[in-house]
Amino acid sequence: MTGMRRRLDDAGTMGYVVVASAALLAVASVVVTASPDGFVDLHIAIAFGAFIAVGELVRITLPGGRDAAPIATAGALGYVLLTRYPDGAAHHSALQVVAVVVVAMLVGVAPHAVVGRAPSVDSMARRVLSIGVAAAIYRGSGLDAEVNTLQDAPLAFIMIGVVLVTLVVDAVVAAAVRAGADRAPFFAVLRNEIRAQAGIGSAIGATGALLALAASIMGSWALPVFVVPLLLTQFSFRRYAAIRESSLQTIRALSRVTELGGYTESGHSRRVSQMAVAVGRELGMSDAELRDLEYAALMHDIGQLSLAEPIPGGATVVAAPAEQRRIAHLGADVIRQTGVLDGVASIVAQQAEPYRRAHDVRRRDIPLASRIIKAVNAYDDLVGESYETQRRLDALERLRLGMAYEYDPTVVESLSKTVERSARLGV
């Protein structure tokens, strides 16, 4: 329970609003459904509830730190969209859908809570709200009764429409929670959430619709037929995610080599990485781009290991431009030796390049990630661990003076907003 509360606190005020709304919907659904005439088609509810519980049990973490249960979500959507069963029509109400989903979720996450792997409460609440919206549209409006008289093509379009609305609602709520937690602009986060939904969300929606259609023909046997390949696919993804997390931990450890060797100040790489990701998120970078940005920011100073004498304080901002470029290229050469981080190496190689040259509008060959690291690294070189307001303002003013050629004005302004938010929060 402590872990669940900590994660909810991290989600900010919007997280509390989402959780409170989902809790009210869940309680109302369970109370109404538990009445003598509120529950129908028990065998269907048990079958889909078991499917959803299994999906919650094998939940995964998606890129960007998103806590997700794609199998459970697909099962919930399938239960929403189910209108026929081999022995007749499915009559469960929208509130019964929510009640079954909530109970199945709690059953599925119980083992995680027991062993201390608390799930993300706000992500669970978000899924309850999204499924509630889908159920209200499809079942609460009586649309499920109408589709029984439609041909296959119109039925497919209606299902696609419901799925799309559900994904949009989920993306909007997720963006609101994430923007509050990360102190990032809502619309920039929303763009990122929509990009993420385009992949996993479309797969979840398609699986949910197929579950509903298959169950109308095969009955409950459709669920185990679907769950086995889905579990195998998710197991493979989980191994991939574990490998990537291990790579990130290795990179974080390697980034401290310059600190341990006395080439940079303690915590410099971590601070640059965190602030660079915050700036990148505000500028609307995708999860994949943010991951490469984080890797590059962690290792941006690794080229300093080639120096005979460390730069005082490790502040490359005071080094000559030619020396800055030499450090960047040497660091990129080291990173290329891994054989799998060529994109990150390119970002590091160009981090010392000016935003534009004289008489040029802008150098379009410099990646946004490189421009972010250049500005954030200079800022941290000037400020370090200091929390003094004047020192922060002086550092930002120095960066603004360099916007004519050295620093991207868009990046500097985003950095300024990030610093202002951090100052208001006292971090």
Angle between helices 70-81 and 222-255 (to 10 degrees): 150
pTM of the full structure? 0.77
Name the residue with higher pLDDT: 213 or 181: 213
Structure tokens at 295: 């890797």
Helix boundaries (H) for 384-427: 389-401, 409-425
Average pLDDT over every residue of 343-366? 85
Q: How does pLDDT run across 81-131, given as a tens digit for each residue?
A: 998 888 888 889 999 999 999 999 999 999 988 888 777 788 899 999 999
CA distance 122 to 48: 23
CA dihedral for 72, 139, 203, 19, sign (positive or negative): negative
Quick one: what percent of the chain has pLDDT higher than 70?
91
Q: What was the pLDDT predicted at 144?
A: 59
Structure tokens at 223: 């669920």
Q: What was the pLDDT predicted at 4?
A: 44
CA distance 411 to 375: 7
Average pLDDT over every residue of 371-389? 91
The torsion angle over the Cα atoms of residues 242, 117, 179 and 266, rounded to 10 degrees, is -70
Q: What was the pLDDT predicted at 1?
A: 45
- Model confidence at 187, pLDDT cuts 50, 70, 90, reads confident
Q: What was the pLDDT predicted at 136?
A: 93
Average pLDDT over every residue of 372-377? 96
CA distance 335 to 299: 8
CA distance 93 to 101: 12
pLDDT value at 143 more than 70:
no
Q: How does pLDDT run across 280-303, given as a tens digit for each residue?
A: 988 888 888 998 999 999 999 999
Quick one: what percent of the chain has pLDDT higher than 90?
37
Q: How does pLDDT run across 405-423, given as a tens digit for each residue?
A: 899 999 999 999 889 877 7
Q: What was the pLDDT predicted at 103?
A: 96
- Model confidence at 219, pLDDT cuts 50, 70, 90, reads confident
User: How much is the mean pLDDT over the chain?
Assistant: 85
* Residue owning tokens 């497919």: 156
Question: Of 311, 297, 296, whose CA–CA distance to 264 is shortest?
Answer: 311
Q: What was the pLDDT predicted at 361?
A: 67
Buried b (16+ CB within 10 A) or exposed e, 15-53: bbbbbebbeebbeebbebbeeeebbebeebbebbbbbbb
Structure tokens at 250: 């290795």
Structure tokens at 34: 């538990």
The DSSP string of 63-123 is TTTEEE-HHHHHHHHHHHH--EETTEE----HHHHHHHHHHHHHHHHHHHHHTT----HHH
H or E stretch at 62: strand 60-62
Question: Of 406, 347, 380, 386, whose CA–CA distance to 264 is shortest?
Answer: 380
Q: What was the pLDDT predicted at 240?
A: 75
